[in-house]
Chains A and B, each alone.
Chain A
Amino acid sequence: MNTISVRFFAGVRERLGKEQELIDARGIACAADVWRRVSGDAPAAQVLVAVNQEYALMDHPVHPGDEVAFFPPVTGG
């Protein structure tokens, strides 16, 4: 499995116009690389990231088979 599964939620999902995407893992080292690939943009402060369903920083390493998600600050409760 040489792919990375990418998911988008809330405002980020709306802005990018997609819920999920499977990307080629080649050339991807960290979450910021994934963000640049899927959005064509530099990482923004208001976009949070989770790698394999754990909160992470944009420089968190990403490997083939990982699930990476991007979303705005959370508001539960």
Chain B
Amino acid sequence: MVRVQSQPLDPWAEIAAHERRHQQWVGTFGATAVFIGSLRDFNQGQVVAEMSLEHYPGMTEKHLEKVIREASDRWEILEPLVIHRYGRLVPADPIVLVAVWSAHRDVAFRACRYIIDELKTRAPFWKHEQTATGRRWVIPE
């Protein structure tokens, strides 16, 4: 399941809700790999006061779904959960959640890692930071 939202993200509540939606999974998985990305208060040598995250509605969801499909084709996993914020964020706010359920840990870790790595380079998001010296667009590493 993919969701892109401007509302604050509570990753642990979302994981619990996803498991409740999939009661039939009970007993079928032995591993849950979770990645949560959150906003640091420093970046590239500067203190970050806040950030605004822009995205391309439609294209973002499409590409997140594509990445999930690729992971599901490659590994035996249950339906992953991916939620990404956009809009205004302050340090410590969760930005992204990737959760993957599988029978075994190796597959869960690999699929989770694949999804977050691919998301970073393919999902159309742009970060605009507010620092002490002004605003700047974040250049990908």
Contacts and interface: CB of A to CB of B under 8 A. Distances in A.
A9 B126 contact: yes
Contacts of B84: 76-77
Contacts of B56: 7, 9, 50, 53, 69, 71
B137 to A, nearest CB: 5
Given A11-B126, A50-B124, A77 B59 contact: no
B125 interface: yes
Contact of B96 (A50, A71, A73, A76): A76
Contacts of A9: 54, 56, 124, 126
A10 B119 contact: no
B54 A75 contact: no
Contacts, number: 60
A1 interface: no
Contacts of A72: 126, 137
B125 A76 contact: yes
A42 interface: no
Contacts of B128: 10
Nearest to A55: B122
A10 B54 contact: yes
B123 A74 contact: yes
Interface in A49-77: 50, 53, 55, 69, 71-77
Interface string B59-93: 10010000000000000000000001000000000
Interface of A: 7, 9-11, 50, 53, 55, 69, 71-77
List 7 A-B pairs, minimum CB-CB distance, nearest first.
A10-B126, A76-B125, A53-B59, A77-B120, A76-B123, A75-B140, A11-B137
6 contacts: A10-B128, A71-B126, A75-B125, A76-B84, A77-B120, A77-B125
